[in-house]
Structure 1
Amino acid sequence: GRNELKLMDLKTFDSKTLVTDEFWAFQNSAPSFSPNDEYVLFTVYRNFEQDLVVHNIKGNKTINLTNTGVTETGPAWSPDGKYIFFTSARTKPSYPTGMNSAHIYRMALNNYDEPYRSDKFDDLFKETKPAEVKPVVVITKDKNGKADTTKKKMEVKPTPKPANVITINTQDILDRIELVGPSFGGQYGTDVFAKGDKTYVFYASNHEGGASGLYRTTLEPFEVNKTEKVADGGDYNIVQAGDKFFVLSRGVINKYTLEANKLDKIDHGYKFTRNLNAEFNQMFYETWVGLDENFYDEKFHGVDWDKMRTRYAAYLPYVNNRSDLRILLNDMLGELNSSHMGFNSSGAEEKKNLTYTTNETGIIFDNENPLKVERIAAKSNAARTGTNILPGDMLTAVNGIKVDEKIDRDYYFSKPSLDKEMTLTFDRKGKEVFVNIHPESSGALRGNLYDEWITNNHKNVDKWGNNRIAYSYMKNMGGSELEVFLLDMVAQEENKDAIILDLRYNTGGNVHDDVLKFLSQRPYLQWKYRGGKLAPQSNFGPAAKPIVLLINEQSLSDAEMTAAGFKQLKLGKIIGTETYRWIIFTSAKGLVDGSSYRLPSWGCYTMDGKNLESEGVKPDIFVKNTFEDRLADKDPQLEKAVAEILKDLK
């Protein structure tokens, strides 16, 4: 549950609470019993990071094993009860960007010594009565159907039994953590089994070429750890049933031979009747419960969530198809008036057999004369070297088909898919010109026009600011745009006296921490080679310069987190209009048919407790760009940013 770990008696189904803590209702680690059933191992959240915790059932005592400020997750006991295996990035918090380059580790619960070869040597020559090995009777049938019994002896190498008492020595326990498996790439998920004196650790990893796979590392006394690939694909489940192992990988159930590291597919089938009415009902209530457990605001934005369930459940008997269910659930979710919300579903029955797309070229046609070339969009396919298209050219044919000026121009460019290439015919002052061009999507053309606007902003900042101001624009707060920002800073920051970071129209993402850390850097010392020039450390010191952050009513999600942090850290002035008020950290949960619903589960608040979802971020200097400004190619917000910086530089 959200905040309780309970122990249930499977005979009576009675339960009692073992621990009350912050567990979260999802994205948590499954608890597990110690090999001797004395402890329960689980994780709890501390400042958004998971700690490894054990609880002694009989003594009712809870011990936090890590308490580090970073995440340790996916814990698993070693079969002998001496170690705990887990996944962690060790020095990097998992929030807000997730655990990148995590690895598998082993924690010793006591200060165990390594085994001695001399002990193993002595065991080889110890005179002991050999254990009786009972023969195994294998019953088969011959061709005549008669039973054939054959006694076969099996060599048995006993697996060490877990200790009756598990000792947990917390003194210097973090010093007893060691890496298991690869140190390259990322690993996650931990399953541990033992056979004989070997311990097998299973996990997903992408250390070989970047593709995820199921791997195992074998630990054996006096041997180097051995890592082997088990199967392709990192999404797996492995279970032990007696002395047999089974692996589910990529939707296929396999029998797994531990010693040979071999998977054998199990062919199976099962016929059933699918009851869509019951399925849709299950999906409806499961979605409601997911929000009931995980919606970030315990007051549900003032909505009676129980009442909403009753109100919308009344329509379930009239749901006939997936589209009806999608409308019903999205209407119910919409009652919360929350961002980052929605129910997504699609199926084969909704697949479109025919779609159309516009083959864009990068040619911008005249608004008054739709066949006349006004200009070529920068960076578009039409702008490439060798493409002979000029302003004023008149389009007369597309792929040899004459263009009728009475028909919508896009009719000639609309196809079920993008062409590999097209031939356009133009009239250029009475001369016929043929041009071959590679079409591009409408999305690519929008990107070309977006980039033109950004480039024009760069030029205006250079012109208005006398080349003294660095300018960087981020379309979103994703990894690729973080790279753009950092490259802009590498190219400009050292040679400029001030910075403008433009987050207008930014659609969010999750890199606010990286951006703010960069902007917070200040020089703290200087160094130089003998006879050379003094140079600052760190290499970049933007916080020592005037900085302006531009925002507007379409700056949303992580752009708002960035703006709020920028203001709290007092990094500079914020100019523009109030942000969109659309910021909740979100996840999603899947349903039985592959549908999913979003879970806005983590609210974002200022240091004085204001909810950014309802408050947004207000600028220090309010400047509004109007529609008329856009038509006149004016940008009062950017002009004000430059003016404020020049004032500070004086």
Structure 2
Amino acid sequence: MNPRGIVWGPRGKKMFVLSAAGTIVNVKPRGPSKPVPFSAKMRIDHPAERVQMFNEAWCSLRDHFYDKSMHGVNWDKVREKYLPMLGSVATPGGFRLLLAQMIGELGSSHVWVWGPRDPKSEPTGRLGLRFDGDWHGRGVRVSRVVPDGPSDQPGSRITAGDVVLAIDGVEVDSRKNPFALLKGKVDEMVDLLVVKRGRRKPTLVTVKAWSRRELSDKVYLAWVKSRKALVRKLSGGRVGYTHIRWMSQRSYDEFLKELTHEMTGKEALIVDVRFNSGGNLHDELLSVLGRKVYFYFEDRDRSVKVMQPRFNWGRPVVALINEYSHSDAEVFPYSFRKLGIGKLVGVPTSGGVIFVSGGVTLLDGTFVLIPQWGAYTLAGKQLEGVGVKPDIYVANPPEQDFSMTSDDQLKAAVETLLKQIK
């Protein structure tokens, strides 16, 4: 039920709650709970409501934004500039766009505006296919297939070079967006009319469409697997590799699992925080990577050593960073170098380093995220708007960002470590 808005009846013998479905329910201590029929009408003055929401957002930022000086912006002048523009706003989306533009005057990270999820939205199904934009023949030609994705399964296998002529009986070509035909088809079976590469006669291939999350997880895991293979090849198996996807407990658990299993026998380690949008994990990672071994246990046959502390590294390590390392994925490399754990390889981070603990929800469900904690070095300097520079600057060309076979930054990290473990 996921109840909220709990209210007791006038005699204290009945309890009413508002369910997640928007119905009022009479909750009884025994027996089934029953919905209470009701109807209500409300007249909304949308222009007045937008003025109220605008002012609430503006005041909330004024009173809670982490920097009292508002990044040097005259916040009163900003209100005077944008308030008159509300008269030209006619939709919730237009209001949120105007609000985002006003907030943009702060030049701050971690200040976001978004609206409530549309309950009628229909997520687009994913086939794990990329189409060739230069193809001008009949249908759309497949340029890439996600390994082990929805179109790379037994009985549903499509390969690069195949041409898709139709999706669920509707013809497709390069002039139209074929993905529009997959709207609302997550977890559904989709029929593709396909001409296999080197053949003329089309064949029917049925593929189960995935959600965006399922496909992105598969793409991510394939990318990490390819990074590990590259490191193994470049280092002759001497260097280990781990990627921290988010600064979260889930990522930390995965990190510890890899550290105690995959890294056995490795002489050095690459910790990759590229494409990491942040969270709050820097202290846990630094504690493990910066620990020094002080003791160990050994079995009777002296065949197994258990080092203390159990989770530690104590060998050469390099951290990889790029322009998509954000927030706590910037605090980590800054502290990693400051503590003398190792060198940084890559390009400067994004410079979005402040912390959030909440925000404000407006009348129509619009949410404004407000950063309330600044992040500073011991010298009192901010990383917000500055970022972290690497010790060894290496820029990957754009085509290498998600390449499965090449990565100049990763190669430089391996070379750096091999020099240390000679």
Which band: TM-score by shorter chain?
0.7 to 0.9
Alignment-derived partner of residue 541 in structure 1: 312
Instruction: Measure, in 1, the Cα distance between the counterparts of 2:36 and 2:292.
Output: 61
Partner letter of residue 420 of structure 2? D
Q: 1:451 to 1:424 in 2, by over 3 A?
A: farther
CA-atom RMSD, angstroms?
3.7
Partner letter of residue 382 of structure 2? N
Tell me if structure 2 keeps the 8 A contact 1:247–1:253: no
Instruction: Measure, in 1, the Cα distance between the counterparts of 2:307 and 2:70.
Output: 51
User: Matches of residues 319-398 of structure 1 in structure 2 within 5 Å?
Assistant: 319-346=89-116, 357=124, 360-364=126-130, 369=135, 371-372=140-141, 376-390=145-159, 392-395=161-164, 398=167
Alignment-derived partner of residue 494 in structure 1: 264
1:276-316 deviation line (CA, Å, top 9, x unaligned): 33322221111111111100001110001122223323334
Instruction: Measure, in 2, the Cα distance between the counterparts of 1:569 and 1:296.
Output: 27
User: Matches of residues 176-575 of structure 1 in structure 2 within 5 Å?
Assistant: 233=2, 235=4, 244=12, 249-250=17-18, 272-346=42-116, 357=124, 360-364=126-130, 369=135, 371-372=140-141, 376-390=145-159, 392-395=161-164, 398-399=167-168, 407-408=174-175, 410-411=177-178, 414-418=181-185, 419-427=188-196, 429-430=198-199, 432=201, 433-441=203-211, 444-533=214-303, 534-542=305-313, 544-575=314-345
Instruction: Measure, in 1, the Cα distance between the counterparts of 2:417 and 2:147.
Output: 30
Given the alignment of the two structures, is residue 638 of structure 1 paired with residue 406 of structure 2, yes or no? Answer: no
Partner letter of residue 642 of structure 1? V
> Structure 1: which 5+ runs fail to align?
1-231
Q: Larger strand proportion, structure 1 or 2?
A: 1
Partner letter of residue 361 of structure 1? L
Instruction: Measure, in 2, the Cα distance between the counterparts of 1:443 and 1:463.
Output: 30
Q: 1:276 to 1:636 in 2, by over 3 A?
A: same
Partner letter of residue 184 of structure 2? S
How many residues were matched structurally?
410
Shift of 1:569: 2.7
Shift of 1:581: 0.8
Partner letter of residue 128 of structure 2? G
Instruction: Measure, in 1, the Cα distance between the counterparts of 2:216 and 2:181.
Output: 17
Q: 1:379 to 1:336 in 2, by over 3 A?
A: same
Given the alignment of the two structures, is residue 608 of structure 1 paired with residue 379 of structure 2, yes or no? Answer: yes
Q: 1:247 to 1:588 in 2, by over 3 A?
A: farther
Partner letter of residue 250 of structure 1? L
Instruction: Measure, in 2, the Cα distance between the counterparts of 1:483 and 1:595.
Output: 34
Shift of 1:550: 0.4
Tell me if structure 2 keeps the 8 A contact 1:303–1:335: yes
Tell me if structure 2 keeps the 8 A contact 1:479–1:511: yes
Instruction: Measure, in 1, the Cα distance between the counterparts of 2:39 and 2:166.
Output: 58
Instruction: Measure, in 2, the Cα distance between the counterparts of 1:579 and 1:365.
Output: 32
TM-score by length of 2: 0.82
Alignment-derived partner of residue 617 in structure 1: 388
Q: 1:328 to 1:630 in 2, by over 3 A?
A: closer
Instruction: Measure, in 2, the Cα distance between the counterparts of 1:319 and 1:409.
Output: 31
Q: 1:636 to 1:265 in 2, by over 3 A?
A: closer
Shift of 1:408: 4.1
Instruction: Measure, in 1, the Cα distance between the counterparts of 2:112 and 2:384.
Output: 16
Q: Larger helix proportion, structure 1 or 2?
A: 2
Instruction: Measure, in 1, the Cα distance between the counterparts of 2:146 and 2:107.
Output: 39
Tell me if structure 1 keeps the 8 A contact 2:361–2:368: yes
In structure 1, the residue corresponding to 2:261 is in which secondary structure?
Answer: helix
Partner letter of residue 537 of structure 1? Q
Bigger radius of gyration, 1 or 2?
1
Partner letter of residue 275 of structure 2? Y
Tell me if structure 2 keeps the 8 A contact 1:340–1:598: yes
1:320-379 deviation line (CA, Å, top 9, x unaligned): 44344323322221111111113333597xx878x784x543345556557555554212
Instruction: Measure, in 1, the Cα distance between the counterparts of 2:167 and 2:27.
Output: 60
Alignment-derived partner of residue 50 in structure 1: none
Q: 1:425 to 1:529 in 2, by over 3 A?
A: same
Partner letter of residue 529 of structure 1? D
Instruction: Measure, in 1, the Cα distance between the counterparts of 2:39 and 2:205.
Output: 58
Instruction: Measure, in 1, the Cα distance between the counterparts of 2:243 and 2:7.
Output: 47
Q: 1:410 to 1:240 in 2, by over 3 A?
A: closer
Instruction: Measure, in 1, the Cα distance between the counterparts of 2:299 and 2:190.
Output: 57
Identity of aligned residues (%): 30
Instruction: Measure, in 2, the Cα distance between the counterparts of 1:573 and 1:407.
Output: 47
> Structure 2: which 5+ runs fail to align?
none
Given the alignment of the two structures, is residue 582 of structure 1 paired with residue 352 of structure 2, yes or no? Answer: yes
Tell me if structure 2 keeps the 8 A contact 1:238–1:245: no
Partner letter of residue 383 of structure 2? L
In structure 2, the residue corresponding to 1:598 is in which secondary structure?
Answer: strand
Q: 1:643 to 1:303 in 2, by over 3 A?
A: same
Tell me if structure 2 keeps the 8 A contact 1:398–1:424: yes
Instruction: Measure, in 1, the Cα distance between the counterparts of 2:80 and 2:112.
Output: 19
Instruction: Measure, in 2, the Cα distance between the counterparts of 1:253 and 1:425.
Output: 51
Shift of 1:637: 1.3
